[in-house]
Structure 1
Amino acid sequence: MGRKRRHRERCDAGSIGEKRTHAMLKPLLLEGWYILPDRRVGRSANVDHVLVGPDGQVFTLDTKLWSARDERGQPRVVQLKSGRLMHGEADRDRQVDTALWETGEVSKALGVQVTPLVVVHNAPVAGAGFHVRGVAVFPADRLLELLRGNVGRPNTREAQRLAQLAEVRLPSHQ
């Protein structure tokens, strides 16, 4: 019973984090971005968000809602230790593997390079963000800044083509 309850609590927390992220992304719609939430990849996995920028760049966005403090009230900083993603003392490097796999699936489906991102709500992130094995990990309050900062020359036709292709090849997971 305890294991099922913990799984349900993690799913509920994940849903809250994804909704927060989605609300943060909405202003990008007016800037030519396409936001595709909760897209299915593989048999049963999902990507929290697939984003297509106005220049045709594609990003996968994995949202994490991690606690800022442990059971003793000590800070849990998200950081890179010995090349591994850590949340306090908890090894979260498997999340990097998942983000890379999901990104690879999206890349195969769309036939383009895709950039993986992990956005963290609640917990502080060391150095305002970092990269681990090609995955950018950063605090939620930097999300729009980082996305906008990576936009190149607009390519409306390509962005629209990729968004439409993603709608077909990456159906909604719900």
Structure 2
Amino acid sequence: MAKAQRDAGRWQAGAEGERRTAQLLTVLLREGWFVLYDLAVGRRANVDALLVAPDGQVFTLDTKLWAARDQEGQPRVVHLDGGRLRHGEADRDRQVDTALWETGEVSKALGVPVTPLIVVHNAPVDGGGFHVRGVAVFPADRMLELLRHNVGRPNPREAQRLAQLAEVRLPSHQ
């Protein structure tokens, strides 16, 4: 019973983080971005959000809702330790492996390079963000700034083509 309750709590936290991310991303739709949510990759995995920038760049976005403090009230900062992703004392490096695998699957499906991103809600992120093994990890309040900063010259035809291809090749996870 305790495991089921922990799993349900993690699922609810994940859903809340994804809802918050979706709310922040809404503004990008008016700027020529395409955003697709909860796409199936493999048998049991899903990409929280797939973003196609106005220039045709593709990003996968993995959302995390992690606690800002531990049970004793001490800060739980997301940081690197020996090249591994950590949240306070907890090793979260498996999240990087998952993001890389999911991104690889999306890249194969679309036939283009895809950039993996991990956005963190609640917990502070060391230095305002960093890269670990090619995955950008950053706080939710910097997400729009960082995404917009990476956009090149608009190519709306290519962006639309990739978004449509993603809808066909990466069905909804639900």
Query: Normalising by the residue count of structure 1, what TM-score does the alignment of the two structures yield?
Result: 0.99
For 1:34, give the aligned amino acid. F
For 1:73, give the aligned amino acid. G
Count of residue pairs the alignment pairs up: 174
Task: Give how far 1:72 is off.
Answer: 0.7
Query: Normalising by the residue count of structure 2, what TM-score does the alignment of the two structures yield?
Result: 0.99
Matched with 1:74 is 74
Q: How far apart are the structure 1 equivalents of 2:52 and 2:39?
A: 13
Q: How far apart are the structure 1 equivalents of 2:124 and 2:132?
A: 16
The list of structure 1 runs, each at least 4 consecutive aligned residues, that deviate by more than 4 angstroms after superposition, is none
Task: Give how far 1:4 is off.
Answer: 1.1
Matched with 2:98 is 98
Q: How far apart are the structure 1 equivalents of 2:34 and 2:44?
A: 23
Structure 1's unaligned 5+ residue stretches are none
Task: Give how far 1:135 is off.
Answer: 0.2
Matched with 1:32 is 32
For 1:42, give the aligned amino acid. G
Matched with 2:136 is 136
Q: How far apart are the structure 2 equivalents of 1:5 and 1:114?
A: 35
Matched with 2:169 is 169
Task: Give how far 1:110 is off.
Answer: 0.2
Structure 2's unaligned 5+ residue stretches are none
Q: How far apart are the structure 1 equivalents of 2:7 and 2:111?
A: 34
Q: How far apart are the structure 1 equivalents of 2:169 and 2:7?
A: 29
C-alpha root-mean-square deviation of aligned residues, in Å? 0.4
